[in-house]
Every structure is written in structure tokens, then in C-alpha cells.
A and B are shown apart, each in its own frame.
Chain A
Amino acid sequence: MVKYCELFYSFFKIGTFTIGGGYAMIPLMEQELVDRRRWMSREEFLDQLALSQSMPGVLAVNMATGLGYRLRGFRGALSAIAGNIVMPVLFILLLAMLFRHFRSNVFVERFFMGVRPAVVALIAAPVFRLAQSARIGWSTCWIPILSALLIWLFDVSPILVILAAVVGGFLYGRIKK
């Protein structure tokens, strides 16, 4: 059984070292929980990702809540959430107090100029890894491509795309039956 402190520590690392928000955290969570700790399968991870994106709230906290609950129940969820946000909250509080002296530091800005393209690449790379575990093949690759294009080019809300998938999956089940 997964220990609360292990859960806390795993999410603590992820929350503390990820710059760029929830989507940048997804590959770290995947590596930590699925590959390194082997606490859950890639399919279960993807299920939680779909659920986290269809529910309101901060994506990273939704992931921590769902994954923590799946692994260790209610207290597991609390451990994961606490681990995920404790350092970011303390860090941003410190920054809020010191911001005026720190804001225009040229070295900080240069460091982040290097970090930003890396963050984009870190979000793009898992698309191909996740495509395998989502069983996307030549006959189904239009589904993620269409979803991405609708959101990117036509500003369709991700909520609508997810709702459409729910309705589609439901109808497909009916027809097959």
C-alpha cells in the first residue's frame, strides 16, 4: 500500500520543480507515478487526465485530488494536494513580498528566456507517448488531430470537445449494443 508520506513527497517534487502550470506537470506526474513508482497503469492515468480536464478547477490540483484518492482514499488525496501546492504557495508569498527588488533582474529574465521553449517541448513530447497508450492508430488518429485543431485554430472550448466525446462514446456504445 502506498504511504501518505510517499504520496506527499512525490507530489511535492512535482509541484516544486515544475514551471509553466498544469500541462507542464502532466509528464512529470506520468513519469513519477506510472514509470518510476509503478503505482498505476498508463490507462488509469489517462482516465484521470480526461476526468481532470472535464471538471472545473486548477488542472494540477484536480490531478492530485483524483490520483491521490485512487491510490490511498480521502487522506491520500489530501496528502497529494498538500504536497503539490505547499512550496508554490510559500514561494509566491515570498516573491509577493520581495517582487519590487527582483522584477527587472536581467539574469532572471535570461534564465527564463531559455526555459520557455523548453516548457513548450515538454508539453509537446508526451503527446506522442500518450498516443500509444490511448491506442491511437491510423484509423483513429483523426480524433486527437481534429480535437487539437478545433481548440487551436477555431477557439472551440475544451469543455465542448470533451462533452462531444462523452456523447460520442455513449452513442457508440448504444449502436454496438
Chain B
Amino acid sequence: MLFLQLFWSFLKIGLFTFGGGYAMIALIQSEVTVNHHWLTPQEFTDILAVSQMTPGPVGINTATYTGYTAVLNAGYEPWQAVLGALLASGSVILLPVVLMLLAVIFLQRTKGNLYVDNIFRLLRKVVVGLIAAAALQLLTADSFGHPGLTLQFLLSLSLFAAVFILSLRRVSPILLILASGLVGLIAYSL
């Protein structure tokens, strides 16, 4: 029964999330802490922190971790919790994947259509603004520390500027992330 509910909940979460994993978080939260009491709000916050700090899509990470913890909390064995985790992440992507496949097939058939072309010419410009908005929304004290003459804030600004410039010069993002992490590890340990 719990597994069926997990499947249904995450199917809904996947279908009604627009705007990527960060938008998904609010939906998962209301579903698993309010509607079903699978997790305490405190547990959910912990899960969120881990999901954002580990590699991979935030929506997948949150779903996987939530599925695992919810089943474990209900008194099942760890191997069943692993199944719960796979079920949650599988059902969260099921409907979006089907819809995306249909959309791409449709668009490939309408290529060269004047209306579709015009829509995408405008959409390409708007999408650039959407990414800018994502970056602007991350300019927070969580990422940079509180503004002021503190080590964290000044170091964060320097890292931001350095990574920005190096990224424009096509230095590998993976290298930049690892280097920034090492700089943080050394600087904050001194």
C-alpha cells in the first residue's frame, strides 16, 4: 500500500512540476510531510540540503532520498527502502519523459512550419532570460555569505569572478567546481 501511494504521489509531483527541480521541492514537501506524514519537516530539510550538495538533478536526488527515508520510517527493511527510493525516482520522471518524447516527435514533424519557427526564434531569446533569472535567484547569503568585509563574502565574490571569466574562456566546469571546493577547503581551514 505504501509503495502504491509512493508511486502515485511521485507521479503527480513529476507531472505538475514546471521550472525544474527547484520548483519540485515545494510539491514534494507538501506531499510527503503534509498529505502523508511520511517524513517530519525537519527530516525533509536535511534531505534537501544533501540533495543540493550532491551531484545530479536536485529533483531526482530529493525523490530518491525521500523514497528511501519514507519506507524506512514506516518500519520496513533497508532493502525495501532501496526499492522505495528507485520507485520514487522512477515515477517522478515517468510522465515527463513520455510527454517530452511526444513533443520532440511532434516538433520534428512540424520543422519548417512558419509559425513553429517564429515561436522558437522568440523562445530562444526568452530562455536566455530564464537562465539569467536562475543565476540571479541564487545570489543569496546561502551561497555567498552575508555582505561585508568577511572572509566568506570576499572569497565568494573572488571565486564567482574567477569562475565566471574562466568559464567564458571554456575552462571545464568540472575542473572549476573541484578547484573552488579546494580553495574553500584550504582558505576556511587556515
Chain A residues near B (Cβ < 8 Å)? 13, 15-28, 31, 35, 43, 46-62, 65-66, 69-70, 74, 77, 81, 84-85, 87-89, 91-93, 95-97, 99, 103, 107, 110-131, 133-136, 140, 143-149, 151-152, 157-159, 161-162, 165-166, 168-170, 172-174, 176-177
- Asked if B4 is at the interface (CB within 8 A of a chain A CB), the reply is no
Chain B residues contacting A85 (CB-CB under 8 Å) are 56-57, 60, 89, 93
**A136 to B128, Cβ gap below 8 A?**
yes
**B133 to A111, Cβ gap below 8 A?**
no
Q: Could you list 19 examples of A-B contacts with CB < 8 Å?
A: A22-B59, A31-B170, A31-B173, A50-B120, A50-B127, A53-B20, A69-B100, A70-B108, A92-B60, A117-B180, A118-B159, A121-B160, A125-B167, A162-B130, A168-B122, A169-B115, A169-B120, A169-B121, A173-B119
- Cβ-neighbour of A159 out of B19, B101, B167 (below 8 A): B19
**B176 to A58, Cβ gap below 8 A?**
no
Asked whether A51 and B103 contact (CB < 8 A) given A56-B15, A110-B188, A111-B184, the answer is: yes
Asked whether A87 and B56 contact (CB < 8 A) given A169-B119, A173-B119, the answer is: yes
**B101 to A166, Cβ gap below 8 A?**
no
Besides A19-B53, A70-B104, A111-B185, 14 new A-B residue pairs in contact (Cβ under 8 A), listed by A number: A15-B55, A17-B55, A17-B177, A26-B131, A51-B100, A52-B100, A55-B100, A61-B59, A114-B155, A122-B173, A130-B127, A143-B125, A165-B119, A169-B119
* Interface size class of chain B, counting residues whose CB lies under 8 Å from the partner chain: 35 or more
**A61 to B101, Cβ gap below 8 A?**
no
Chain B, 87-101, CB within 8 A of any chain A CB:
89, 92-93, 95-97, 99-101
Chain B residues contacting A54 (CB-CB under 8 Å) are 18, 123
- Residue of B whose beta carbon sits closest to that of A143: B125
**A50 to B56, Cβ gap below 8 A?**
no
Asked whether A61 and B156 contact (CB < 8 A) given A28-B173, A87-B56, the answer is: no
**B143 to A119, Cβ gap below 8 A?**
yes
- Residue of A whose beta carbon sits closest to that of B68: A96
**A77 to B14, Cβ gap below 8 A?**
no
**Could you tell me the dominant secondary structure of chain A's interface residues?**
helix
**B55 to A87, Cβ gap below 8 A?**
yes
**A121 to B56, Cβ gap below 8 A?**
no
**A56 to B18, Cβ gap below 8 A?**
yes
Asked whether A118 and B180 contact (CB < 8 A) given A99-B46, A110-B188, the answer is: yes
**B54 to A58, Cβ gap below 8 A?**
no
Q: How far is the CA of A135 from the CA of B168 in the complex (A)?
A: 18
- Cβ-neighbour of B21 out of A21, A166, A170 (below 8 A): A21
**B53 to A55, Cβ gap below 8 A?**
no
**B131 to A115, Cβ gap below 8 A?**
no
**A169 CB, nearest partner CB in chain B, Å:** 3
**B101 to A56, Cβ gap below 8 A?**
no
Query: 7 closest pairs, A vs B, by CB?
Result: A114-B184, A88-B56, A57-B96, A147-B129, A144-B129, A169-B119, A118-B180
